[in-house]
Structure 1
């Protein structure tokens, strides 16, 4: 009995020694760190923070994520006159440099403004948008982006995202490339909601039209980008029009030359018939004509819009116009 009892004691002692050594090794290996203790910052984490400051986004991806959610089955509600006016007044106040007044006006329509930093170049851009994603999905009124590198000098309008596939890429390219730009971006497919109520290029009762009008009142010239099916005009890549106006004719001619320099085939509406792609019924164009402000209606075929290289070429050509506008020249 004594020997058996002694053997049990030795075994327990040995096991205790093994457990002690294991615990010590665990501490040395870091395995005993409590689960809720903050993870030490690694060099990779410091590098990421330095490269992408807080609040920064890839602006192209950010806007494309928004337009990717736009579908023909989506909802759209025609805004009341007071809601249209509140957003337009908010944009006016923001461009006047009065952000508090802008925020108050926008809030009455459920909108807000925030500043984004684009990781591509570090440019600062203000986003004026519905305060919640749910609101965007239910109302579909769209967004406004304001380049903050200087005073607003020109605008690019994207009335048919998703319907005119990838036209937002043209707008993004222009906004990134030329200072002083404002991009007005529709928030619903042109077929959303039933009938033509979401077709903001042909309806006066939209936030899109209200903001575009406010910018025209400030004498900001505009380019409105569209897309058409290749078979609609098979011998041309791009259709350039000034709508029903003539204030933008010199800019339109300049754009035509720049597009041809990119090896794109252009149909000039003031020279020939270009099918049903001439922008003669565009409400933003009509308002710009009444205000005496240049307006360009530019259609791009599918081949151009689906090719990143051709999109870049179209943006370079359009930039020949927007750069002059940014410099205060026609």
Structure 2
């Protein structure tokens, strides 16, 4: 009788261990098309939506969940408990393009606490930060951002959670130091992670030029030169902001670049015209140039 009970206890114990193992196997996470998810998120943002930045307390609470999530943490349940009261939904999945296991935290579109979409490789320390501050205004920049993530393992992605015109422009995270987007970007920069910020412009803003490469408020580095050279090698006309005027598209007033400058971090501000962003082949060419430069310049 005792022997039978012991066998039952052992069997139940092994079953529990097996269940825990299965929970942590990345291949068993649900397949998710991250590009489609980001596209739907961006398309739902509107200029007339409400928006407010987080309070000091909300900002601290959000950072306590988002920074571990974005820097390789695996305590998914802790992030759910921390971020759900702030309006975030956490998704644990496997990207259908890269095959990588990811964690994604996002607020709902067009709500007052429209604080963003954040994507991280599960359990992997990031090597760079990819930023999309103006979804559904700088059209298709979220596609450039996700495709860059898919091609670069070890990337953290920040996508703004509100249209830049929402709340009379208060939601423009590139120019609002109190936005959660900026708080997260600053925290990651202080960990030594370089930032690549993606923007778009109308062709008439700088006719004859396809891409603007700038260091924003920071000093330009070999990364910026590599990006410009690789984009130009594909036949695209590039404006190098450290050499010439680029039609007020240099991003020198972006607060992420200003914060990066204050701590000596790397910040790359990339503008691309509407043709490049809307054409899948040209967009892929831009992504390939960025990938090559980042892999070459950042160990």
TM-score by length of 1: 0.77
Cα pair distance change 1:212/1:54, threshold 3 Å: closer
How far 1:98 sits from its partner (Å)?
Answer: 5.7
Distance in 2 (alpha carbons) for counterparts of 1:125 and 1:96: 10
1:261-300 to structure 2, matched below 5 A, reads 261-300=233-272
1:233-244 to structure 2, matched below 5 A, reads 233-244=206-217
Task: Indicate the residue corresponding to 1:323 in structure 2.
Answer: 295
CA RMSD of aligned residues (A): 1.9
Task: Indicate the residue corresponding to 1:174 in structure 2.
Answer: 148
Unpaired runs of at least 5, structure 1:
1-51
Matched residue of 2:251: which SS?
A: coil
Q: Deviations over 1:103-132 (max 9, x none)?
A: 4432442334331111223211110123xx
How far 1:63 sits from its partner (Å)?
Answer: 1.3
Q: Is the 8 A contact 2:213 2:241 kept in 1?
A: yes
Task: Indicate the residue corresponding to 2:170 in structure 1.
Answer: 197
Q: Deviations over 1:229-262 (max 9, x none)?
A: 101110211111001111x521000001110112
Matched residue of 1:287: which SS?
A: helix
How far 1:296 sits from its partner (Å)?
Answer: 0.3
Q: Deviations over 1:158-179 (max 9, x none)?
A: 0000110111111011100001
Matched, 1:219 2:192: yes
Matched, 1:312 2:289: no
**More displaced, 291-300 or 83-92?**
83-92
Matched, 1:97 2:97: no
Residue from 205, 208, 213 that aligns with 1:232:
205
How far 1:73 sits from its partner (Å)?
Answer: 2.2
Unpaired runs of at least 5, structure 2:
1-26
1:6-45 to structure 2, matched below 5 A, reads none
**More displaced, 211-220 or 103-112?**
103-112
Residue from 88, 106, 109 that aligns with 2:83:
106
Matched residue of 2:166: which SS?
A: coil
Cα pair distance change 1:96/1:181, threshold 3 Å: closer
| Structure of larger gyration radius | 1
Matched, 1:67 2:39: no
Matched residue of 2:239: which SS?
A: strand
TM-score by length of 2: 0.85
Task: Indicate the residue corresponding to 1:148 in structure 2.
Answer: 122
Distance in 2 (alpha carbons) for counterparts of 1:262 and 1:149: 35
Distance in 2 (alpha carbons) for counterparts of 1:256 and 1:312: 16
Q: Deviations over 1:133-186 (max 9, x none)?
A: 3x7634221110012373211011000001101111110111000010001000
Cα pair distance change 1:165/1:279, threshold 3 Å: same
Task: Indicate the residue corresponding to 2:223 in structure 1.
Answer: 251
Cα pair distance change 1:289/1:216, threshold 3 Å: same
How far 1:96 sits from its partner (Å)?
Answer: 5.5
Distance in 2 (alpha carbons) for counterparts of 1:306 and 1:253: 25
Matched, 1:206 2:179: yes
Matched residue of 2:104: which SS?
A: strand
